[in-house]
């Protein structure tokens, strides 16, 4: 079978064996060495100069993270991937490696809390950032200025699950030649491929669904091959020796990964790679559980509002249906007046009170008091986060056990 025609899961499962592995091993072994020796000094020089493939010093990557990069590239249908120690290290690398003083950024106002915090730091460093309602591409377009260097959006926002107008924003960026960066963490490449909406770079926090087991942190940037890097003003001359399709990732690996040092350790890369094998299977179960739970919650008198893109009541339900395979694993809801969210949460027995998302286990958290506490009431209001909002990251438990847990906790 032609490798490129293989299905999503087949391609991930067998990607390590694209090259022979010692002893016929089915998993890429852990390469823990941080340095690599060469017999011919010319080969060493060629690796340093980017003329030959190979490894130099572990901060820029290692064979184990490279094997994971191959998997992520296959999942996203991209041209290449750079992995990082965390999702935030990947996003940080994009803004630090690709922007110059005065460059303007347009970001969705509905982004991961730490991403919003990072973008505010960026502003303090002299890059103006406009936060706009990305559910409406016209608002993104209206915010563009001649200095806009990149547009950053997420697919489904956390915790209020707003869905960005991904395809139309892609059209706007394409028409203007602006780099379009899509954080695909909440959907994962099984539900959505940002390449289909003309994203130039894709971010995945591998920590979440792709790893899936809550046992390793990691992040990735994938180039879709659709952005014309010759139109990007900020590529350093010394990175232009390779074909233009490599310029962006080359600068991200050097200026972003090497210089800031947010390197993915081989052990963590291995955990993520093993988790990634079952991404599609887990997402199917997670999404069907999330749809069932959100429908059930919406019928309960103790619940004031349920937010889930799979519900017809969701403002971007039709958009989500047109873009995504399923509606994701995240939902949030508010209890009716007179019901204390803390009391409710404390009665949950199966569901774990925890800040992570994308774990196999279902996790719940009172948003305003924890992950969105630091940003203050005003920003929370702008993001649609009520004080009583509870976020659920749905896992792969048996559906009946999940519904029963919510039933007894609401009673
Ligand atoms: C968790 C998350 C990140 C950051 O990933 P870490 O691995 O925790 O640094 C970035 N974006 C989104 C949408 C996330 O959910």
pLDDT tens per residue, range 245-302: 999 999 999 999 999 999 999 999 999 999 999 999 999 999 999 999 999 999 999 9
Residue with more model confidence, 18 or 399? 399
Q: What is the pLDDT of residue 2?
A: 55
The pLDDT of residue 18? 85
In degrees, to the nearest 5, what angle opens at C-alpha 342 toward C-alphas 341 and 343?
90
**Residue 341 C-alpha to ligand 1 middle, in angstroms?**
25
- Whether ligand 1 lies within 6 angstroms of the CB of 81 is answered as no
Q: Which residue puts its alpha carbon closest to atom 1 of ligand 1?
A: 205
Question: Rounded mean pLDDT of 370-381?
Answer: 88
Q: What is the mean pLDDT of the chain?
A: 95
CATH fold of the domain at 280-410: 3.90.1150
Nearest CA to ligand 1 atom 8: 87
pLDDT given at position 3: 63
Looking only at the bridges linking them, the beta strands covering 80-84 and 104-108 are unpaired
| pLDDT at residue 384 in the model | 83
Q: Give distance in angstroms: CA of 112 to centre of ligand 1.
A: 7
Calculate how far, in angstroms, residue 291's C-alpha sits from the geometric centre of ligand 1: 23
Beta-carbon count within 10 A of 48 CB: 12
Model confidence over 292-326: pLDDT tens digits? 999 999 999 999 999 999 999 999 999 999 999 99
Average pLDDT estimate for 377-398:
92
For residue 339, how far is its CA from the centre of ligand 1 (angstroms)? 31
CB 254 within 8 A of CB 239: yes
**Ligand 1: distance of its center to the CA of 152 in Å?**
14
Mean pLDDT score, 113-139: 96
Contacts of 371-375 spanning 24+ positions with Cβ under 8 A: 371/113, 371/159, 372/113, 372/159, 374/113, 374/117, 375/113, 375/116, 375/117
Q: For 223-237, what is the mean pLDDT?
A: 96
At residue 398, the 3 state secondary structure works out as coil
Q: Is 112 in the pocket of ligand 1 (CB under 6 A)?
A: yes
Tell me, rounded to whole angstroms, the distance of Cα 72 from its chain centroid. 12
For residue 1, what pLDDT is reported? 46
Residue 186 Cβ inside 6 Å of ligand 1? The answer reads yes
185-219 pLDDT, tens digit per residue, is 999 999 999 999 999 999 999 999 999 999 999 99
Element (H, E) at 106: strand 104-108
CB of 190 within 6 A of ligand 1: the answer is no
How far apart CA 108 and CA 89 sit, in angstroms, is 19
What does the pLDDT read at residue 27? 93
Mean pLDDT computed over 73-77: 97
Q: Is 208 in the pocket of ligand 1 (CB under 6 A)?
A: yes
Q: Which residue has the higher pLDDT, 238 or 71?
A: 71
What is the percent of the chain where pLDDT is above 90? 91
Share of the chain above pLDDT 70, in %: 99
CATH 1.20.1250.20 holds for 3-276: no
Tokens standing for residue 197: 């909406």
Alpha helices in 99-256 (DSSP H): 113-124, 137-143, 166-176, 188-191, 247-251
Strands 104-108 and 129-132: parallel
Output the CA 371–ligand 1 centroid distance in Å.
12
Q: What pLDDT score does 383 carry?
A: 79
Structural domain spans, the chain: 3-276, 280-410
| pLDDT of residue 4 exceeding 80 | no
For a ligand 1 pocket test, name from 207, 214, 264, 393 the mutation site with the most ligand atoms within 8 angstroms of its C-beta.
207
Pocket test for ligand 1, best of 154, 161, 205, 357 (most atoms within 8 A of CB): 205
Cis peptide before 159 (omega within 30 of 0): yes
CA 122 vs CA 113, 254, 290, 318, 340: distances in Å: 14, 20, 35, 34, 38
């Amino acid at each position: 079978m032609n490798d490129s025609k293989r299905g999503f899961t087949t391609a991930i499962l067998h990607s390590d064996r694209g090259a022979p592995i010692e002893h016929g091993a089915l998993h890429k072994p852990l390469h823990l060495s941080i340095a690599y020796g060469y017999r011919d000094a010319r080969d060493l020089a060629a690796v340093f100069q980017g003329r030959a493939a190979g490894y130099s010093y572990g901060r820029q990557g290692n064979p184990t993270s490279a094997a994971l990069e191959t998997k992520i590239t296959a999942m996203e249908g991209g041209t290449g991937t750079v992995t990082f120690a965390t999702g935030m290290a990947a996003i940080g690398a994009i803004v630090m490696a690709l922007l110059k003083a005065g460059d303007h950024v347009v970001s969705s106002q509905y982004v991961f809390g730490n991403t919003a915090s990072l973008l505010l730091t960026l502003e303090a460093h002299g890059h103006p950032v406009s936060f706009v309602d990305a559910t409406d591409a016209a608002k993104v377009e209206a915010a563009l200025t001649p200095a806009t260097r990149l547009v950053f959006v997420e697919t489904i926002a956390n915790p209020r699950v707003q869905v960005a107008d991904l395809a139309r924003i892609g059209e706007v960026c394409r028409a203007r030649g602006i780099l379009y960066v899509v954080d695909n963490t909440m959907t994962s490449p099984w539900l959505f491929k940002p390449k289909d909406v003309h994203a130039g770079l894709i971010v995945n926090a591998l920590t979440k669904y792709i790893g899936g087991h809550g046992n390793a942190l990691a992040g990735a940037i994938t180039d879709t091959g659709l952005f014309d890097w010759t139109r990007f003003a900020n590529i350093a001359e010394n990175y232009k020796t390779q074909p233009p399709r490599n310029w962006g990732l080359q600068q991200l690996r050097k200026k972003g990964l090497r210089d800031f040092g947010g390197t993915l350790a081989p052990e963590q890369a291995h955990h993520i790679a093993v988790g990634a094998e079952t991404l599609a299977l887990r997402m199917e179960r997670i999404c069907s559980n999330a749809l069932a739970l959100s429908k059930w919650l919406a019928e309960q008198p103790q619940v004031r509002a349920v937010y889930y893109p799979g519900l017809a009541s969701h403002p971007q339900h039709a958009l989500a249906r047109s873009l995504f395979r399923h509606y994701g694993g995240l939902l949030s809801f508010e209890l009716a007046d007179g019901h204390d969210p803390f009391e409710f949460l404390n009665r949950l027995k199966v569901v774990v009170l925890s800040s992570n998302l994308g774990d196999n286990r279902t996790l719940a958290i009172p948003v305003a008091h924890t992950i969105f506490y630091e940003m203050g009431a005003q920003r929370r209001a702008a993001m649609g986060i009520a004080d009583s909002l509870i976020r659920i990251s749905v896992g792969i438990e048996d559906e009946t056990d999940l519904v029963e847990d919510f039933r007894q906790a609401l009673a």
